[in-house]
Amino acid sequence: MRHSKSTKKKVALVYDRVNKWGGAERVLLTLHEMFPDAPLYTSVYDEKEAIWAKVFPKIITSFIQKIPFAKSNHEFLASLMPLAFESFDFSDFDLVISVTSEAAKGIKTRFGTLHICYCLTPTRYLWSHEDQYFKGQAFKVFTKPITSYLKKWDKKASKRPDVMIAISTEVQKRIKKYYKRRSEIVFPPVNATVLRKQSLASQSPGSTVAKDRKFYLIVSRLVGYKKVDLAIDVFNKLGLPLIIVGTGREEKRLKSKSKKNIKFVGQVSEKELVKHYQNAKALIMPQEEDFGIVSVEAQAVGTPVIAFRKGGATDTVIDGKTGVLFDKQNVESLSGAIAKFKKMVFNHKYLVKNAKKFSKAAFKKEFLKHI
């Protein structure tokens, strides 16, 4: 393995782009706690949309930062990402950690520098979800030269890290399938303990999940692959109360098709989110997630999860014990899972215990084993 044996390692962090907030960004903040002096390298940085990133001692951006529309329309610059990340110089570092679902793994490091890639997923639009991103034969033909180039580069880039770590069993399988290399699994950090404390501060739970909870809950960005429209179709049909936390480009369309039993509350504070979790009958996850942090957050405060049986949910949700898994992304399958759920009783303590497996402390312990 190519790494320095010096006791005091000089560390750098690398991320695809710093312009939003989500599960990957929580990983970066945890890595910052572990390596507080490490600068963060990225293709583009939006200070207004990524206030969380101000904790880093230094943020180094690529030449893409100078392109006027890059901060909010990075998807149009995919062909430039390989050059952007290959242009960074990591010759002064002993350890470089890339957190990526796209191009950050393609950085070049010198002999003697350990490169650990924390892979959120092999690039979705090139591999596992290509058909969802490139719909229509004409569009596929038009974009083929670019996607062919990016696929070739992405495969080459996937060989550069010394250590590849997957965030879930599903992602580990994708790495094996598309990149033809082995990887270890380290689950992302979830602030389960913090959420639990906030929950206990306002409510003292019993041994089982209360039956008098009023509504079902979705916590999600409102974009196509999250399948929120499927949940809306089901709850329109069943007439059950559903609260949707989150915003996104699909918000207007989703609101227009929702009946009065469905309420959109937008972005909420962490304190408000905990209240939603602890007062919900169940969290609904109709989408396939690479991991799915919200499913762990819900369990941390004792709320079961109804989730699609694919992706990260197969790691985080224990069918019949911490929630219900359904097999097909259609109205019949999700409706059946809700009907099954309504007949079940869930143990509050078991839900909390399961969430603890995905704690920040567990992440730090497992991650450090690879350094």
Is residue 245 a contact partner of residue 217, using CB atoms and an 8 Å limit? yes
Give the model's pLDDT for residue 208.
63
Within a domain: residue 85? Answer: yes
| Cα 173 from chain centroid (whole Å) | 17
Cα gap 237→259, rounded to integer Å: 9
24-38, 118-132, 321-335, range with the lowest pLDDT:
118-132
Comparing C-alpha atoms, which of 297, 310, 290, 273 is closest to residue 351?
297
pLDDT at 136 over 70: no
Reading the block at residue 26, the tokens are 């929580």
Same domain, yes or no: 163 and 275 = no
CATH number, residue 33: 3.40.50
pLDDT band for position 1 (cuts 50, 70, 90) = very low
pLDDT band for position 254 (cuts 50, 70, 90) = very high
Same domain, yes or no: 291 and 165 = no
Give the model's pLDDT for residue 113.
97
Comparing C-alpha atoms, which of 194, 186, 142, 196 is closest to residue 291?
186
Within a domain: residue 255? Answer: yes
Same domain, yes or no: 262 and 283 = yes
For the segment 133-157, the average pLDDT, to the nearest whole number, is: 79
DSSP 178: I
pLDDT at 164 over 80: yes
Buried b (16+ CB within 10 A) or exposed e, 239-277: eebbbbbbeeeebeebeeebeeebebeeeeeeeebbbbb
| Cα 30 from chain centroid (whole Å) | 14
Residue type, 103: A
Q: Which spans in 165-321 are helix H? A: 169-174, 192-202, 228-238, 251-256, 270-279, 293-300, 313-316
97-106, 207-216, 227-236, 238-247, range with the lowest pLDDT:
207-216
Give the model's pLDDT for residue 6.
41
- From 185, 203, 222, give the residue that closes a domain: 185
| 3-state SS class at 198 | helix
Cα gap 81→57, rounded to integer Å: 24
Is residue 209 a contact partner of residue 231, using CB atoms and an 8 Å limit? no
Cα gap 275→261, rounded to integer Å: 19
Same domain, yes or no: 207 and 131 = no
Comparing C-alpha atoms, which of 30, 96, 85, 78 is closest to residue 63?
85
Give the model's pLDDT for residue 109.
97
For the segment 148-171, the average pLDDT, to the nearest whole number, is: 97
Same domain, yes or no: 31 and 158 = yes
Is residue 100 a contact partner of residue 14, using CB atoms and an 8 Å limit? yes
Same domain, yes or no: 198 and 271 = yes
Within a domain: residue 148? Answer: yes
CA-CA-CA-CA torsion sign (245, 251, 252, 258): negative
Give the model's pLDDT for residue 68.
86
For the segment 326-337, the average pLDDT, to the nearest whole number, is: 98
Reading the block at residue 151, the tokens are 């696929």
| Cα 369 from chain centroid (whole Å) | 22
Within a domain: residue 108? Answer: yes
DSSP 105: G
Cα gap 223→295, rounded to integer Å: 18
Q: Which tens digits make up the pLDDT trace of 205-217?
A: 555 666 678 899 9
For the segment 144-153, the average pLDDT, to the nearest whole number, is: 91
Same domain, yes or no: 238 and 330 = yes
Same domain, yes or no: 145 and 237 = no
Please tell me the number of Cα atoms within 13 Å of 52 on its side-chain side.
16
Same domain, yes or no: 58 and 90 = yes
Burial of 92 (0-12, 13-18, 19+ CB in 10 A): exposed
For the segment 175-199, the average pLDDT, to the nearest whole number, is: 84
Same domain, yes or no: 105 and 86 = yes
Same domain, yes or no: 220 and 142 = no
Cα gap 161→106, rounded to integer Å: 8
CATH number, residue 298: 3.40.50.2000
Cα gap 112→4, rounded to integer Å: 5
In terms of C-beta distances under 8 Å and separation of at least 24 residues, what long-range contacts does 102-105 make, across chains too?
102/16, 102/78, 103/16, 103/43, 103/154, 103/157, 104/14, 104/15, 104/16, 104/42, 104/43, 105/157, 105/158, 105/160, 105/161
Within a domain: residue 3? Answer: no
- From 127, 160, 185, give the residue that closes a domain: 185
pLDDT band for position 139 (cuts 50, 70, 90) = low
The distance between the two most distant Cα atoms of the chain, rounded to a whole number of Å, is 62
Give the model's pLDDT for residue 128.
76
Give the model's pLDDT for residue 5.
44
Within a domain: residue 129? Answer: yes
Structural domain of residue 66, as residue ranges?
11-185
For the segment 259-278, the average pLDDT, to the nearest whole number, is: 94
pLDDT at 138 over 60: no
pLDDT at 4 over 50: no
In terms of C-beta distances under 8 Å and separation of at least 24 residues, what long-range contacts does 306-311 make, across chains too?
306/216, 306/282, 306/334, 306/337, 306/338, 306/341, 307/283, 308/227, 310/170, 311/168, 311/170, 311/287
Please tell me the number of Cα atoms within 13 Å of 243 on its side-chain side.
21
Within a domain: residue 363? Answer: no
Q: Which tens digits make up the pLDDT trace of 34-86?
A: 999 999 999 999 999 899 999 999 999 999 999 988 887 777 888 999 999 99
Within a domain: residue 339? Answer: yes
Give the model's pLDDT for residue 197.
59
Count the domains in the chain: 2
Same domain, yes or no: 107 and 125 = yes
- From 124, 153, 185, give the residue that closes a domain: 185
